Structures are given as structure tokens and as C-alpha cells.
A and B are shown apart, each in its own frame.
Chain A
Amino acid sequence: MTPHDDQELVEYWSRAGTIHGRWRLTFRFWRKRIMWRIVVGLTQLLKRIVDIVLSGCALLALTPVFAVTALLIKLEDRGPIFFQQTRVGRNGRLFGMWKFRSMVPNADQLKDQLLKQNEMKGGITFKMKDDPRITRIGRFIRKYSVDELPQFWNVFTGDMSLVGPRPAVPREVRQYLVEDRLRLLARPGLTCFWQVGGRSGIDFDGQVELDVRYIQSESLWLDIKLLFKTVPAVLKGDGAF
């Protein structure tokens, strides 16, 4: 600390001692606090507002797609149209994620037999090519990610967000390491870095790293960019089984 600094400090605090100076400093604090309130409030609110507006529009706009898909699923094997899967949401809370049913109705029982043939690197995510449980319609809607569209409803109700790490199933989360659990800090979403990039062709450590990088650099502008990149990735249908 130089003498100049000392002098400046003395001047500052003696000014703070006067009524006028005190008022000025208190005013500065309130100005800071109001700005803080706006910034913090907006970061929390804006994403949710965008989620509600965009998912609401999407649900309305996609009604014809929903109707056709529902009809086709019903025609193929007369089973239920939707399929609700328990997933892990923000901070580990469980919620039911909606999907169009793309597998035969007793798919979960068949899964245990198939677990041994798991192809995924790292072994923690269960996903395989040419799964025999998938129906004919199911294969088509999975290729173009139509089965994921009912999740706009989850976004609308607030369990999910448009952009965020994909929600995992509880069995996977039980095996997560401490570092992997960081991805539970964000509200899960429809799309994130690794869906836009390699989609299913990326290993588990890579997924976690990308999700954490997303949480690190969270901003509304990034969300919008990722949403725009998702559309061509889905239309090309690459990487989705």
C-alpha cells in the first residue's frame, strides 16, 4: 500500500462519515442491489419463459404430426400410444418423461436378456443397434426423433428445459461418480452439445465432459444457437438408433 493509497482511504472514510457521503454510498449500494436483482432474476426467469413460450408453440404446431404418429402406433399393434419413463431430473428428483411408444409393450422384461449384449462403450448407458424390441413404426419415428417430441410437454410443465443435459434413468445415475453427478445440477433438456455433435456415437466420459462444459457456459444465446443446430442434426437422422 503506497502513501497515496493511504491518503485516498482517509479521504474516502472521512467522506463516508458525513451525512451527505453516507447517503451517496447507501444510494450506490441500492443501485448495485437493484441491478443485481435484475441480472440474477433474469438469468433464472428468462430461460423458463423461453421454454414455456417455445414448447407451447411447438406443441401447437406439431399437433398434426402427433395425430398421425398416434394413429400409426395404434394401428400397428393396438398397444398404448405414449410411454412414460422415470428419469432423473434436476438435483436428482425423479419425473416421468413422455415418449411415443416405439418398442413392443413388454419391452422392459425383454431388456434383462439383452443387457448382456450391451454394445455401448463404458457400459453405463444402455443403447444398442438393431434392438429386436423396436416396432416397425418405432424404427421410423426413432430415426427422425419423432418419439422424443412429446417431451415438449415435460418442458411446458417445467420438469425439463429445451436445452440441457439429457435426463438419465435412475439405474444409470446410481452408478455415477461424483464428477458425473455435476450434470444433475442443470435442468435436463431436449438437446445439448453432444446431441448436436456426435449424438449417440460418443462415450460416457465425453458426454459428461460436454454436459459440464454446457453448464459452465450457460447463456441464453448459446441455448438459441444449440436449438438451431439441433434441427439439421435431427433431420439428417445421424447417430440416432
Chain B
Amino acid sequence: MNPADPSTDRDRLTEPVGTLWLRAPDWRTIDTVARKSEPWVLWRMGFQSLLAHWMDEAVRRNVARVEIICPDRAAEIEAALEGGLYWSREIRFHATKPAEAPPDSEIITMTGLPGLLPANEPADGTALLQLWLSQQLAWLEQRSPAVSVERQLHPRVWVGPGVRIHPSARLTGPCWIGARAEIGADAEIGPQAIIGHQSVIDQRASVTHSIVMPETFVGSRLHLQRMIADGYILLDANRGTRVEFTDRFMLARMRTDWRGFFDKWKRRLST
């Protein structure tokens, strides 16, 4: 286990040195509940993907290069990083462990967030879902009030730019609301809630110990507890279940999924 050291010194003049070796775990086979289309390291943890958190960590450790071993969908991961320009670090991808790699003890497996790596790997889909939820809530708990794009309204209540909150909504910390989200009348957010950017929480809905992914509509009087709402998909971490909603007024995706729409019709016309 490699604990993250949040170096708080404002020294920007030391040249980056060394290499950070990372490995992306291949959990394709155990992801039976969430059934996400992207590999584990691209799952969203708070405001960015797990891999982006590790790239931040690479900047914090001031390394010159990041080498990532990803046996699972390496091309997709490479495309998501866009050459690592945002972090201005050199990144190299390997499908398998190359000969020049250091021993396994020096390669960090990205099973969780930097400094929050879980003690043991999940064995099945429910455990994976619980890990996903607990990692995000732990990230929220340990979030430092350092510089961030989100404003801190109250201690540990972060609100992004352009958020509209109804005056009768109740926010309890720690909670984090992404840019341009909308919180309806009498809605209850928190404790421990992450609302993704451009999401809409309708009136009298409540989100506690839960995550709402970006661009999701949470319908009126819906109570989410230890759940992850992602578009029209609701994942229950306690029971390990996945429910797809067909009634849009309960749970829906705000942005039209045109590709999915055309795929559906293509399938209907071809059969």
C-alpha cells in the first residue's frame, strides 16, 4: 500500500523526476451488477475519473513520466486521457507488464483512490458496487477545503458554478454539487451526497449517502439511500441490484442519447 502524501509546499521550481508505475485492474468478469461500458479506472469518482485522480497524484509526487499497464481496454483508457495534456506529464501505455518494469511491489494497482486503496479486492459485482460507492463517499469525507472550482457555501458543502438551489431545499454536509445542477423545492441533499454536474433533483426528492451521476434527472419524492443513480439506471449498493427505469418522471437521463436511440431503431428494423 502506498499512502498518498499531500505535499502542501508551494514549491513549483523543482523539476519533475522519476516514473510512476500504475496498473489498471481487469475487473471485466466481476462487474456483473453495474455492467458499465468502460473499464474500472474510467469510472467516475466524485468530479473526475479514477485515472484522473491518479494523474493528479502523479503531479503531486512531481514525477516526470507515468507508465500504465492496462490489460483491459487499453485503447479506451488512452483515448480518455487525451495524451495527458492537462497534467503535462508523459504517459506510456502497456497491454502487459514490460521487461523494463520494476518489481510488482513498486507498481501501484489502481483499485481505489490515492491514499484510500481498499484492503482487499472485490470478489463479485455487489462488492465492486459497494467499493465504488464507499470510495466516493470516502473521497467526500477527506476532501480538503483547498482551492477548487466549487465554492464552499458552508463547511463541507461544495457548490459548483451556476448551480440553482431552491430556498426551501436542505443541504447537509458533507455534500458536493457539480456545475449547473438544479435542486428543487424541499429537496434533501446530504449528508454524504455527490450530485454530478447538470443534474436535476426534483422537488421533495432526497439524496443521502448516495451518488447522482452527471446529467441525471431524479424525480419528485424519490428517496435515494446508499444508491448510485446513473441516467435511468439505479444501482443499489446494499442489495447489489440494478434497476432500469422506464418511467421518465422517476429517473431519466437529461441529455438525449441519440446513439442509443438510433441503435434501438436499427435493431428493431433489422429483426
**Which residue numbers of A lie inside 8 Å of B, CB to CB?**
9, 12-13, 16, 22, 25-26, 28-30, 32-33, 36-37, 39-40, 43, 88, 91-94, 122-124, 170, 173-182, 184-185, 204-205, 208-209, 212, 215-219
Cα separation A93 to B56 with both chains bound (whole Å)? 17
Cα separation A94 to B85 with both chains bound (whole Å)? 8
Contact at B16–A40, with CB atoms within 8 Å? no
Closest Cβ of chain A: how far from B210's Cβ, in Å? 17
Cα separation A26 to B251 with both chains bound (whole Å)? 11
> Top 9 A-B pairs ranked by shortest CB distance?
A92-B85, A25-B249, A92-B86, A179-B147, A175-B12, A29-B249, A178-B56, A174-B88, A29-B248
Question: Which residues of A lie under 8 Å from residue B150 when comparing CB positions?
Answer: 216
Cα separation A122 to B69 with both chains bound (whole Å)? 37
Closest Cβ of chain A: how far from B202's Cβ, in Å? 7
The segment out of B18-26, B91-99, B216-224, B262-270 that lies at the interface is B216-224
CB under 8 Å from chain A, chain B span 24-68: 56, 59-60
**Which residue numbers of B lie inside 8 Å of A, CB to CB?**
10, 12-13, 16, 56, 59-60, 82, 85-88, 146-151, 161-162, 180, 182, 198, 200, 202, 217, 219-221, 247-249, 252, 254
Question: Which residues of B lie under 8 Å from residue A91 when comparing CB positions?
Answer: 82, 85-86
Contact at B161–A16, with CB atoms within 8 Å? no
5 A-B contact pairs sorted by A residue (CB < 8 Å): A26-B248, A29-B249, A92-B87, A179-B148, A208-B147
Contact at B88–A170, with CB atoms within 8 Å? yes
Residue of B whose beta carbon sits closest to that of A182: B149
Cα separation A179 to B60 with both chains bound (whole Å)? 10
Contact at B10–A205, with CB atoms within 8 Å? yes
Given A43-B162, A92-B88, A181-B87, A124-B13 contact (CB < 8 Å): yes
The dominant DSSP class at the A interface is helix
Contact at A215–B12, with CB atoms within 8 Å? no
Cα separation A32 to B220 with both chains bound (whole Å)? 12
Cα separation A90 to B207 with both chains bound (whole Å)? 33
Question: Which residues of A lie under 8 Å from residue B161 when comparing CB positions?
Answer: 215-218
Residue of A whose beta carbon sits closest to that of B198: A40
Cα separation A94 to B87 with both chains bound (whole Å)? 13
